Structure 1
Amino acid sequence: MRKNKKYTREFKEKVVKEYLLGQHGGLNTVAKIYDVRNVSQLKKWLKKYREGPTSLHRENRGRKKVLFKN
């Protein structure tokens, strides 16, 4: 069984920017060059980056924190 690979913020941003600049071709090529296991992961990073470059750095896994007002 493979362990999940954690990518740094800087790495994600670098890969997305290089894809958008068209330096290495398509998604598959960029994923192979940077050893991103799944092209769909790269697509998710692109979507987040297009929403706003800072949204790429937010972590969305796990349960959301709920604040209760008394």
Structure 2
Amino acid sequence: MGELISRKGDLRQIAMELLYRLGGLRGPKIGEIFRIGYTSVSQERIRLRERILSERRIREVINLIERKL
């Protein structure tokens, strides 16, 4: 999976998205986990969703993680 991730923030964004979608957590709780505000969580998730549409490697990583869960 490491070869699919080039930016340090990629895994952080993916983790936030998966906590939201699969973990049932919402912005304030995710923000608490990552020590950021809930609005930052929202912005990171928006950026990731935009990248999912345009970057195949991000989709591949998310699909791989979801399959392993």
* TM-score between the two structures when normalised by the length of structure 1: 0.50
Q: Match of 1:49?
A: 48
In 2, the alpha carbon distance for the partners of 1:39 and 1:17 equals: 15
Give 2:45's aligned amino acid: L
In 1, the alpha carbon distance for the partners of 2:10 and 2:44 equals: 10
- Tell me the CA shift for residue 33 of structure 1: 1.8
Q: Which runs of 5+ in 1 are unaligned?
A: 1-6, 58-70
Q: Match of 1:16?
A: 17
Q: Match of 1:25?
A: 25
Cα displacement string for residues 24-67 of structure 1 (whole angstroms, at most 9, x for unaligned residues)? 521101111222x211111111112222324xx9xxxxxxxxxx
Count of matched residue pairs: 47
Where relative contact order (Cα < 8 A, 6+ residues apart) is larger, the structure is 2
Calculate percent identity across the aligned residue pairs. 11
Structure number with higher helix proportion: 2
Q: Which runs of 5+ in 2 are unaligned?
A: 1-7, 59-69
* Structure possessing the higher radius of gyration over alpha carbons: 1
